[in-house]
Amino acid sequence: MNRIGKFLAITILAGVATVAAAQGYNGPSSASAAPASARYAGPSTVPGMTAKELLANGVDDQYVTLTGKLVRHTGGDHYVLADASGEIRADISAKHFPQDQVIDANTVVELEGKFDKERFGSSKLEVKRIKVIAAK
């Protein structure tokens, strides 16, 4: 196979993989994430915070819970969660999306994960669990 043929094959496979992963989130985006298997749904001792509190006072590797809406998908595993206080970047692997539930920009979700505080650039939440609170 010549160089152009190999390039086209790789490009097509990458596009198919992106589309295949785009099945669980239905909000503003160029791509989305796939559903995951069932997870623990009982009570948690992970503290709840707002986006503004977390960005201002959070420490690196702190586990937190945020409640809000995934208002944007910015590509790959990158989303933006908005609550009444503001917005925060959230990295969500496709495997963490709830199975058989569509999440769009109007769905209220609870995200639990580890805060990645950056000295320079944007800090973010590395999501380990998503719980749908209210779908509209």
Select the CATH number that applies to the domain covering 3-134 from these four: 1.10.287.3510, 1.20.1730.10, 3.40.50.1820, 2.40.50.200.
Answer: 2.40.50.200
Average pLDDT over the chain, rounded to whole?
79
Exposed / middle / buried, residue 70 (Cβ in 10 Å: 0-12, 13-18, 19+): buried
* Residue 106 or residue 48, greater confidence: 106
DSSP reduced 3-state for 56: helix
**pLDDT at 17 exceeding the cut of 70:** no
Residue 105's pLDDT band, with cuts at 50, 70 and 90, is very high
Chain-centroid distance of CA 101 in Å reads: 14
Cβ contact 105:76 at 8 Å: no
Confidence bin at 128 (pLDDT 50/70/90): very high
Q: Please choose, from the candidates 105, 41, 60, the residue with its C-alpha nearest in 3D space to the C-alpha of residue 79.
A: 105
pLDDT computed for residue 99 by the predictor: 86
Check if the beta carbon of residue 132 is closer than 8 Å to that of residue 112.
no
Q: What are phi and psi of 85, to 5 degrees?
A: -90, -20
Q: How confident is the model at residue 107 (pLDDT cuts 50, 70, 90)?
A: very high
pTM for the predicted model, two decimal places: 0.67
Tell me what the mean pLDDT of segment 114-126 comes to.
90
